[in-house]
Amino acid sequence: MAATVSHFKKLRVLLLVQQWAVPPEDATATRAKKAEWKTEYDVLTALQKTGHDVKILGVEGELGPIRRAVHEWKPHVAFNLMEDFDGVAIFDQNVVSYLELLKVPYTGCNPRGLMITKDKALCKKILHYHRIKTPGFHVFRRSQKRIKLPRGLQYPLIVKSLIEEASLGISQSSIVTDDKKLEERVRFIHEKIQTDALVESYIEGRELYVGVMGNHQLDVLPVWELVFRKTPDQMANIATRRVKWNPEYRRKYGITSYAARHLDPELVERIQKVAKRAFKILNLNGYARFDFRLTAEGDLYLLEANPNPHIGFEEDFAESAEMIGLNYRDLMDRILRLGIGWKPTSIV
């Protein structure tokens, strides 16, 4: 069981990360900029500089190390950066459930919110029920043999994994315009990504992101935008795997992100209001990012809800938080305090 938290600043923090993402002992900020463990390094160093006592634990396919660390070290809180468990994306919710059974406070989203949002089709159904506009969609299960244009949908469509995140499986080929391309891309998701395929209407427009933080009282961050400055006309402006994780590719095509410009204040308020509503509807807590598309006609579509988004230094979430006065250290401390303040029974 975790130690009881009193009103003092310094905390024992158990930082949970993927085994491969544990920064080496000689890690530096310069090395971290191009490393896969950048976010983990950023969070670790920020918490240490804030004055917390941090123990980093790499987790792969065993829960035993978590239990031992909890019983031997008695952390006040676990800072959860797990994106999967044993390579399975939807198992991240089980790690959080385990922390709840151990009675350890943790940062980020609760198991129910993770379960709902990991299944993108279920998430869209819930949003649609609450009259939040989201693109039309269809799910092709891996067991399906026949793949054809779903009733009620029209080309162009975009094909994604039903459960994977971080744009895994998304490329320019994900936009399909005929039956042959649809079947090819669905087969790719089934065979290469090894998940069911989500097919949804492709919405042309501006790509906007909105961060939300809190448990019951929510703070909404400034509207952020992914901007494509030099992409050829034949390329779709979508956040592919290369757009998200390849700096050279971003530089080549002038892809950047910053606070959205030239938006009417009333529109900004509407976008932020939808993000806060979705946060509550989906049973989220801690922090999350919502991905929107805004059409030229002013129609707003919520594409995805992302609990526990990437929070590395100088990444979108941290940059938008800084615009409301939260520098990186303060942001990490705020996330920590939200974790301590969350009660698992709050969603019942």
Omega cis (within 30) before 232:
no
Instruction: Please state, in angstroms and rounded to a whole number, the distance separating the CA atoms of residues 145 and 269.
Output: 45
Residue spans of the domains in the chain: they are 12-108, 136-201, 204-342
- Write down the pLDDT at residue 346: 78
pLDDT tens, the chain, 348 aa long? 555 444 447 999 999 999 999 999 999 999 998 899 999 999 999 999 999 999 999 999 999 999 999 999 999 999 999 999 999 999 999 999 999 999 999 999 999 999 999 999 999 999 999 999 999 999 999 999 899 999 999 999 999 999 998 889 999 999 999 999 999 999 999 999 999 999 999 999 999 999 999 999 999 999 999 999 988 888 899 999 999 888 899 999 999 999 999 999 999 999 999 999 999 999 999 999 999 999 999 999 999 999 999 999 999 999 999 999 999 999 999 999 999 999 998 765
CB proximity list for 8: less than 8 A, separation 6 or greater = none
- Write down the pLDDT at residue 7: 43
- Write down the pLDDT at residue 6: 42
Q: How crowded is residue 229: how many other Cβ atoms within 10 Å of its Cβ?
A: 8
- Write down the pLDDT at residue 17: 98
Instruction: Please state, in angstroms and rounded to a whole number, the distance separating the CA atoms of residues 348 and 260.
Output: 36
How much is the pTM? 0.94
Instruction: Please state, in angstroms and rounded to a whole number, the distance separating the CA atoms of residues 41 and 56.
Output: 10
Architecture of domain 204-342: 2-Layer Sandwich (3.30)
CATH code of the domain made up of 136-201? 3.30.1490
CB proximity list for 166: less than 8 A, separation 6 or greater = 83, 241, 244, 245, 310
- Write down the pLDDT at residue 172: 95
CATH code of the domain made up of 12-108? 3.40.50.20
- Write down the pLDDT at residue 348: 58
Torsion of CA 85, 318, 246, 138, to 10 degrees: 60
